[in-house]
Amino acid sequence: MTLSAVIPKHVEEALRTHRRGFLKSAGLLVVSFAVSAKNSAAAEPAGPYPDPDFRQLDSWIVIHENNTATFYVGKTDAGQGTGTGFRQLMSDELDIAFDKTTCVMGSTDITVDQGGSGGSTAMERDSWPMRRAAAEARRALLEMASGRLGAPVDQLAVSNALIQVKADPSKRVTYGELIAGKKFNVTLTGANVNAVTGAAKVKTVQELKYTGQSLERDDIPAKVDGSQKWVVGVKLPGMLHARNVKPPFAGAKLTGIDESSVRNLPGFIKVMSKGNYVAVVCEREEQAIGAARALKTTWEKPATAPFPASEDLFQHMRGAVPTSASDPIVMGDPDAAFSSAANVIEAEYEIPFQGHTSIAGAHAIADPSNGQMTVYSNDMKSYSMRTGVAAFLNMPRERVRVVYMQGPQCFGRSAAEDAACEAAWIAREIGRPVRMQWMRHEETAWDTKGPAFLVKTRGALDPAGRLVGYEYSARSCDYNHVGYNEHDTVLIAQLMGSRRAKPARGSSEVPSEVYAIPNRRMAGEVVSLPLIWETPLRTGNLRDPNGPQSTFAAESFIDELAAAAKTDPLEFRMNMLTASTADDAGFRRARSIAVLKAAAKAYGWDPRPSPKPLGKGNILIGRGIAYSFRGQTVVAQIAEVEVNRQTGHVWAKRLVCAHDCGLIVNPESLRRTVECATLHGLSRAIHEEVRFDTEKVTSVDWVSHPTLRHADVPERIDVVFVNGDPNPNRSDLRPFGAGEAALKPMLAAIANAIYDATGVRIRRVPFRDARVLAALKAANV
Amino acid sequence: MSNITIKVNGGTHTLNIDPATPLLYILRNDIGLEGPRFGCGLGQCGACTVIINGAAVRSCILPVSSVKGEITTLEGLSSNGKLHPLQQAWIDEQVPQCGFCQNGQIMTAKAMLDKVPHPSDAQIRESMNSTLCRCMTYYRIQAAIKRAAKAMA
C-alpha cells in the first residue's frame, strides 16, 4: 500500500499559488515558493508541525527575488472577499503594488493562528496585526536601504517596492534586492496575535491607496473557469471513501450491524463503528454511498421522545423550566411606567430552528501518513480544528495540521468540523487516507441549528403616543450549544458516548438598538429539549447566532407600537433616536440616525402610519423598515413586498439596505457581501424552518427544506454605504464587521412590510404561503 | 462492470465501470474534472450540472450508461484560452461568494442562452429557478446573465 508522503502536487500548487490565475492575468511570473525564504510544507512533509511564530515578521510576509510579496494570514475566506481586502490593506502599509502581492490563508502549519473566520472580525480585529506587520516590514526595509544606499531613512522615498534617495533618485534599490532569499529576523511584540506590532506606525486613512478601491476579488476567476481546487477534489494515493450511517431516530441506541448485508458489495473495505457511530468505507465514492444505503443496522428507540414535534415546539418552550437566565437589564422604573401608561401593547413572537444547510454536505479528507494527521478542510476555523482533531484522536497537537482549502459556505459552526473528526478517526483506524462526505439528508437533518426563539414583549405608550416603558423577555432553545471543534462535543464524539459534565449554557441575547426609552427591562432565558446529546437539533453558531431572532421580535414590536401610536414607523424610530438620553456617548446614536435617513432617502419613504388602507386588487403592496446594530456596524433595511391575497405568497420586490461599517476596504466586494447577507435574511424570513416529528428531523432536502430561489429575488436591491461617524474624515476611521449585520433586521423588515400591505401582523417565522394565507383569511383580508 | 466510452470536452475516455454509476463520480473521480460538484445527489440543486446535446443535465442522478452524446463541463466552456462570455460576465459582475454552486449556475445559464439568446427577466427566473445558491448570489447571477446576453448579441 502506498501512503502519500507529501501533499499531492496539484494541492500543493493550489495552496502555494492559489491566486495564480490572478497573477498570470497581471503579467506576473508565478512565484517559486520552493526557493522562498519561508520553509514550504513540501520541504517538511512529515511533521511535526510547530506553530508559526506570530512574533516573527517572517511568519507574515515573504518578499521574493522578483520584487513581489506573499502575505501569510491566519484567516479563511469563503468568498466574502476578505483575502483581497487583506492584500489591499497590507499592500498599502508595505508600499508595494497590489498586483505584485498574493495572500496565503488559513493552513495551520504555514500561517499564524488568527482563529480563522467568525464573528465578522476579519477587518474589524484581524486586519490590524496584518497592517502593523506590513508597516514594520516597510520600516525594516527602509533601514536596510539606508545602509545600502548610504543615506538616512528620512532622506529616502519609497513607492511600489522601490526605495530611492530623494535627492538622487538614481540611487535606488528594490525590496527584492534587499531581502529576497533572506529572512527579516525582526521580532514583533504584543501579548497575543491580536496585539502584535512592530515599531512602525500604520498609515492614516488618507494615506491608503488601494484601500477603498473596488479591486476585483482574486478568488473569482478560478471559481468561474473550473480551475479552482476544492477540498472535495483532493485525491491522495490509496485514498478510501467513507459515508456515515446515521441513527434513524434521534437518541437511538445501536443494537446490531449485519455486515453480511454489504460484505460482498464491490469495493467494500470495512464497517467502522463505536458506540452509536457507524460508517462504511469503500474503494470508490459511489460504492460507499451504495454500501451506506445497503447496510442493515438495528436500533432501539429511546424510552421517551427526544423532542416535541416542530408544531409543538413553542408550547414546549413556554412550559419549560429555564436552564439558565441572564440578569435582566433594567433602566428607569418599568413597573411604574406600565402602571401609569395610557396604552399597553403586548405581543409574542416565534422563530423556529433554522439550519446552516450548506449547498454541499460536510466533508474532509484525512491523511494518517508518517504517524501524522493531515486534514484537508474548508472549515472556517482551521486552527481550532487542528486542536480539536488532536484532542479527539489523543495525538500531540504538533503532529496534526489542517490544510485549508475552498469549499461550500460555512456561515458559522457547521458540520465541516464533525466530518473532519470522522475522517481523521477512520483514517487512523484503517491506516489509509479517507475522504468523508455527508449526504444531503444528513447535512440538512444533522447540521448544527440556529436556536429557536420565543419572545414576549410589552410596551407602555403615554397619551402622546411616546414609548415610555418597554419589556423584552426571550427564551431561546439553545441548551448545549456546541462550540467550535470541541473534541468532546463533535457529533462523532457524542455518538461514541462522550458526555461533557456540564453542557454549554447557550445564549439568549437582547436587542441591539439605541432607542431612548426611559424605562425598560430586557432579559433572556435558555431552555432545553428533552434530548441533550446525540441530537440532530444540536445548536451552534449560525451567521449572527441570536441576532435575526431577537431583532425579528424587537423590530416587529416597535412597528406594532408605532401603529398603535398611529405614527409613521420611521418617524416613531427617529423620535426615539433623536431624544436625548444619558446612555450613549453619541457615536451609535449619530450613526443610527444616519443609516435610517439614508435608507429612507434611497427608498423614497413616504411618511404615513402603517398599515396603509387595504388595496382592492389581488396583489397588496406595502413597505417596512427595521434597524439594528451588530457590534459597531449599524444597518437599516427597507423592504417593499407584494402579498398575493389569493395564495398568501410574499415577494420582496425591492430592498434597500443602508449600512455603516466604518472604513470600507473594498466597496464592490462589500456590496456583494451585503446583498447576499440581505438575501440570506430574506430566505430565513420566507422559507427556512427545521421541521421534525417526535422521532427525527423531517426536513431533509431542498423540497422539504425550502430555500430562496431565483424567482424570489427582488427586482432591485440598493445598498447604500453610510459613514455616519460624527467626525467622518477622521484619519483613524476604523473598519467594523460586515459579514453578518445586514441579515439581522431583514426578518422584521419583511414582517413589517407584510403588515403595511395587509394590516395583518405575522409573528411566526417563516412567512410561507400557507401561513400568510391562513393569517389573511383569519383577518378577513 | 463493463467498458463504457464517454466523450467529454473534446476528449474520449473508456472506463471499466459499473454502468449504473452516476456520471458525476466518473467525471470527478476518474477523469479528474472539478467543475461539476456534488451538492445533493437528488437532482434538486444543480451543482453537478453538465451540458449534453445542448441540455443542462444533472450528472448526480444520470447513470453513465444513459449518456448519449458529448458532455461539456465548466472546464470545456472556454475556447483557445478565452473565457466564454458568461464566465467573463461572472467576473465582471463579481458574482461568486463561496463559488461552490456556480458551476450549475453558469452551465444552466449557458443552456438557456443557447436556446433563448435574449431572455426576459421572467424567462431567466424560470429557467434558473431550480439551480440553488446558499450564499444567495442570485441577484448578481441574473445581472451577469443579462450582461452575457448583451455581449453575445
Exposed, middle or buried: residue A578 (CB in 10 Å: 0-12, 13-18, 19+)?
exposed
**Chain A contact for B38, CB < 8 A?**
yes
Selecting from A225, A286, A711 the residue whose C-beta is nearest the C-beta of B87 gives A225
Mean pLDDT, residues A297-317 = 98
Beta bridge partners of A659: A635, A721
Selecting from A232, A677, A707 the residue whose C-beta is nearest the C-beta of B132 gives A707
Mean pLDDT of chain A: 94
**Buried b vs exposed e over B35-69: b needs ≥16 C-beta within 10 Å?**
bbbbbbbbbbbbbbbbbbeeebbbbbebebeebee
Minimum CA–CA partner of B127 in chain A: A710
Selecting from B29, B87, B94 the residue whose C-beta is nearest the C-beta of A672 gives B94
**Chain A contact for B6, CB < 8 A?**
no
Segment A210-232, tens digit of pLDDT: 999 999 999 999 999 999 999 99
- pLDDT range class, residue A20, cuts 50, 70, 90: very low
Cell of A327: 440578569
Q: How far is A76 from chain B (nearest CA, A)?
A: 11
Domains of chain B from N-terminus onward: 2-76 (3.10.20.30), 85-152 (1.10.150.120)
pLDDT at A31 over 90: no
Q: What is the pTM of this model?
A: 0.95
Residues of chain B found within 8 Å of residue A439, distances taken between Cβ atoms: 41
Q: How far is A291 from chain B (nearest CA, A)?
A: 13
Dihedral of alpha carbons A733, A736, A739, A745, sign: negative
Dihedral of alpha carbons A146, A150, A156, A162, sign: negative
**Chain A contact for B120, CB < 8 A?**
no
Residue A777's CB: how many other CB atoms inside 10 A? 12
Segment A281-294, tens digit of pLDDT: 999 999 999 999 99
Give pLDDT, residue A597: 98
Segment B78-129, tens digit of pLDDT: 988 899 999 999 999 999 999 999 999 999 999 999 999 999 999 999 999 9
The DSSP code sequence of chain B is: -EEEEEEETTEEEEEEE-TTSBHHHIIIIIS---SS--S-SSSSS-TTEEEETTEEEEGGG-BGGG--S-EE-GGGS-BTTBPPHHHHHHHHTT--SS-TTHHHHHHHHHHHHHH-SS--HHHHHHHHTT---SS--HHHHHHHHHHHHHHH-
Selecting from B73, B99, B124 the residue whose C-beta is nearest the C-beta of A79 gives B99
A337 CB-near residues (< 8 Å, 6+ apart): A460, A468, A469, A518, A519
Q: How far is A707 from chain B (nearest CA, A)?
A: 8
Give pLDDT, residue A9: 53
CB contact under 8 A, A708 and B138: yes
Selecting from A217, A232, A710 the residue whose C-beta is nearest the C-beta of B125 gives A710
pLDDT at A180 over 70: yes
Give pLDDT, residue A19: 32
Task: Give the whole-angstrom CA distance, residue A644 versus residue A767.
Answer: 12
- pLDDT range class, residue A395, cuts 50, 70, 90: very high
Domains of chain A from N-terminus onward: 9-229 (3.30.365.10), 234-303+362-437 (3.30.365.10), 313-356+449-527 (3.30.365.10), 549-778 (3.30.365.10)
Chain A, residues 268-287, CB within 8 A of chain B, namely: 284-286
pLDDT at A130 over 50: yes
pLDDT at B42 over 90: yes
| B8 touches B70 (CB < 8 A) | yes
Mean pLDDT, residues B35-49 = 98
- pLDDT range class, residue A13, cuts 50, 70, 90: low
Give pLDDT, residue A41: 39
pLDDT at A120 over 70: yes
Give pLDDT, residue A118: 94
**Chain B contact for A78, CB < 8 A?**
yes
B73 CB-near residues (< 8 Å, 6+ apart): A226, B8, B9, B27, B33, B35, B36, B50, B51, B103, B107
- pLDDT range class, residue A47, cuts 50, 70, 90: confident
Task: Give the whole-angstrom CA distance, residue B67 versus residue B136.
Answer: 31
Mean pLDDT, residues A241-256 = 98
The 8-class DSSP code of residue A497 comes to: T
Mean pLDDT, residues B48-69 = 97
Give pLDDT, residue A584: 62
pLDDT at A580 over 90: no
- Name the residue with cell 458506540: A275
Exposed, middle or buried: residue A1 (CB in 10 Å: 0-12, 13-18, 19+)?
exposed
| Pairing label, strands A519-527, A156-159 | unpaired
Mean pLDDT, residues A308-334 = 97
Give pLDDT, residue A29: 28
Minimum CA–CA partner of A406 in chain B: B98
Mean pLDDT, residues B3-30 = 97
**Chain A contact for B99, CB < 8 A?**
yes
CB pairs < 8 Å spanning A and B:
173
Residues of chain B found within 8 Å of residue A232, distances taken between Cβ atoms: 28, 34, 37-38
Chain A, residues 622-681, CB within 8 A of chain B, namely: 668-669, 672-673, 675-680
Angle between helices A667-686 and B138-152 (to 10 degrees): 120
Beta bridge partners of B50: B57
Chain A, residues 542-601, CB within 8 A of chain B, namely: none
SS (H, E, C) A551-604: HHHHHHHHHHHHHHCCCCHHHHHHHHHHCCCCCCCCHHHHHHHHHHHHHHHHHC
Beta bridge partners of A329: A522
Residues found in chain A: 781
Q: How far is A716 from chain B (nearest CA, A)?
A: 8
**Chain A contact for B103, CB < 8 A?**
yes
CB contact under 8 A, A284 and B29: yes
Residues of chain B found within 8 Å of residue A80, distances taken between Cβ atoms: 97
Selecting from A216, A226, A714 the residue whose C-beta is nearest the C-beta of B34 gives A226
